Structure 1
Amino acid sequence: MQAVSILTVPGLGSSGPQHWQTRWEQQHGCRRVEQRDWDQPVCADWVAALEAAVAAAPGPVLLVAHSLACATVAHWATTTARPLVGALLVGPADVDRREQLPEVSGFAPMPLVRLPFPSIVVASTTDEYVTLARATAFADAWGSRLVNVGALGHLNSTSGLGLWPQGWALVQELLHSTDQQK
């Protein structure tokens, strides 16, 4: 079997040098899905960039999305015919909240349809961009397993996760579950 390409899909503003996604790229060889504009996102553009990245990746693909990128993956899943090994969806920003950042309004409404690939939603009890109840609703709608990691904020650089081995273990779980299906 061909090696799985693991693509990181950062959210608004991308992921800086201390973010676990950046560290995974450095430590584990993950590749970043690049967006033309990280600060003024356009949903259709982000979905198109994700489609192009998945198409260009060698072998099967697993996505690791954070924040607004979770909405990007959900939108992409409704339009693509490309298969995925799975997706880790971390701290999915609730794009339907009225008090949300105006930059993300073009991603509403959040698609609430079952994803056609295995997925895990990781949520924190203290995330300022999504309540645990809403993250649970996303996981239920997407057919994802929910992992509640406790009071870790938005699961970003300021959460102090470092290399975040617990998250990498979830990636390995997704890879292993795919191996078991063969």
Structure 2
Amino acid sequence: MSQSAPPPHSESQPQPADANPYAQQAPAGAPFAPPVPPAPLQKDNVALGLAAALGAALVAAALYGVIIGLTKHEIGWAAVGVGFVIGLTAGKVGGRNPALGVVGAALALGSVYIGQLVGEAMIGADQVGVSFSKLFFQHFGLVQEAWKADADPLTFLFFALAAFAAFSGAKKAAA
């Protein structure tokens, strides 16, 4: 006539799949269960890193061109900033892929070039008395000729600095 003790839980409460009776219970004093932490961000997305770097390159080119157009001078630290922003964006968004630094450097070269053309067009538009958009979009060949005439060794140094900054910025951001 001896009977065994009843189980520690009531038959009316459902048991979790892992047989832990306390798994779905909230901590003492809490009205609900703690939130589940968010999934970690995927860090190695090369395509997204390249797209973000391209967007940063377009914005940086426009800003660099406006700086040149307003000051009527090429500014070396601005070219370094263009490259660094592109590389930083590629590395932060895309991760540790070594291709991001190389593509970031190439985008920095293009961005500095476009920025210099924008600046050249702003300066030329002021001198000739036409709108920037008319000169830049309808007479792009003239803008390129003016850029070639104004290019000097310092211009190409800015290209190199921007490419180096983009490459190193991508590596630092991904670390």
Shorter-chain TM-score range? under 0.3
Greater share of residues in helix = 2
Normalised TM-score (structure 2): 0.27
Greater share of residues in strand = 1
Relative contact order, higher structure (CA 8 A, sep 6+): 2
Normalised TM-score (structure 1): 0.26
